[in-house]
Amino acid sequence: DVKVTQSSRYLVKRTGEKVFLECVQDMDHENMFWYRQDPGLGLRLIYFSYDVKMKEKGDIPEGYSVSREKKERFSLILESASTNQTSMYLCASRTGQGRQPQHFGDGTRLSIL
Amino acid sequence: AQSVTQLGSHVSVSEGALVLLRCNYSSSVPPYLFWYVQYPNQGLQLLLKYTSAATLVKGINGFEAEFKKSETSFHLTKPSAHMSDAAEYFCAVSATNSGYSTLTFGKGTMLLVSP
pLDDT in tens, A6-33: 999 999 999 999 999 999 999 999 999 9
Among chain A residues, the shortest Cα distance to B94 is held by A98
Residue A69 at interface with chain B, using a CB cutoff of 8 Å: no
A98 pLDDT band, cuts 50/70/90, is: confident
Mean pLDDT of A57-61: 94
Q: Which residues of B touch A30 (CB under 8 A)?
A: 99
What local confidence, expressed as pLDDT, does residue B54 receive? 83
Give the mean pLDDT of chain A.
94
Residue A45 at interface with chain B, using a CB cutoff of 8 Å: yes
What local confidence, expressed as pLDDT, does residue B29 receive? 73
pLDDT tens digit string along B36-74?
Answer: 999 988 899 999 999 877 889 999 999 999 999 889 999
B49/A101 touch (CB, cutoff 8 Å), yes or no? yes
How do A10-13 and A108-112 pair as beta strands?
A: parallel
Is the pLDDT reported for residue A5 higher than 90?
A: yes
User: Nearest CA to CA, how far is A78 from chain B (Å)?
Assistant: 21
Q: Which residues contact A64 (CB under 8 A, 6 or more apart)?
A: A34, A46, A47, A76, A77, A78, A79
Mean pLDDT of A107-111: 97
Cβ B3 vs Cβ B104: under 8 Å: yes
Give the mean pLDDT of chain B.
92
- pLDDT greater at residue A108 or residue B101: A108
B76 pLDDT band, cuts 50/70/90, is: very high
Eight-class DSSP state of B71: G
Q: Tell me how far apart the alpha carbons of residues A25 and A58 are, in angstroms, rounded to a whole number.
A: 20
What local confidence, expressed as pLDDT, does residue A70 receive? 96
What local confidence, expressed as pLDDT, does residue A108 receive? 96
Q: Where are the beta strands (DSSP E) in chain B?
A: 3-7, 10-14, 19-26, 32-38, 44-50, 56-58, 64-68, 73-78, 87-94, 104-105, 109-114
B99/A50 touch (CB, cutoff 8 Å), yes or no? yes
From the list A4, A98, A104, the residue facing B94 with the nearest CB is A98
